[in-house]
Amino acid sequence: MPHISFTIKTVAFVTESGSAAPARRPFLSAQFLGFGGQRLPFPAFLDTGSAFSVVPYRLAQQLPYVDLGEHLVLAGQLRPVEWNGIPCRMGEVEVELVDTNLFVRTRVLRVVAKIPRQAAAPTLEQSVLLGMSFLTDNRAHQELHATSAGLSGHIWVP
């Protein structure tokens, strides 16, 4: 079972009072399976605060996906699938995570995601958000280590 290292990306925010407020995200090298089985590299980051993954519109146009519908049902109520105010469909795509330093990759993994029906702001089109469902659907394990040298970690799947 290969361990895929995170690349921690930091945005060095500062509050108006001058206090440092860095925002960090664990990024992964991902290759999404496109039409004809071709592998499409696209940055992805893990966000355990998001229930579902999100595949940006510009990538989704290049991927075959299983359409799971445009509503979620909770307590008998239909709720439209949306992301940042953009109407979405729920869909399932496939991805492999890659560690380019160790030359290893995972098996094909399932991503149940919100798939926007239109492009979002350019900053939101730059990477795939892998939500909590990605971890549970694939029985994935993740570790993050905070040390005086910074943040590091990895993910692995059985």
- The candidate with the shortest Cα–Cα distance to 45, out of 154, 128, 148, 145, is 128
* Cα separation, 61 vs 55, whole angstroms: 10
Q: Around 15, how many Cα atoms within 13 Å sit in the side-chain half-sphere?
A: 4
Q: What is the pLDDT of residues 55-100, one digit of tens each?
A: 999 999 999 999 999 999 999 999 999 999 999 999 999 999 999 8
* Cα separation, 52 vs 56, whole angstroms: 13
Q: Tell me, what's the pLDDT at 1? A: 75
* Whole-prediction pTM: 0.91
Question: What is 31-140's CATH number?
Answer: 2.40.70
Q: Tell me, what's the pLDDT at 147? A: 83
For residue 143 the two structure tokens come to: 């570790």
Q: Contact, 47 vs 130, CB < 8 A?
A: yes
Q: Show me where the domains of the chain are located.
A: 31-140
- The candidate with the shortest Cα–Cα distance to 69, out of 43, 85, 92, 89, is 89
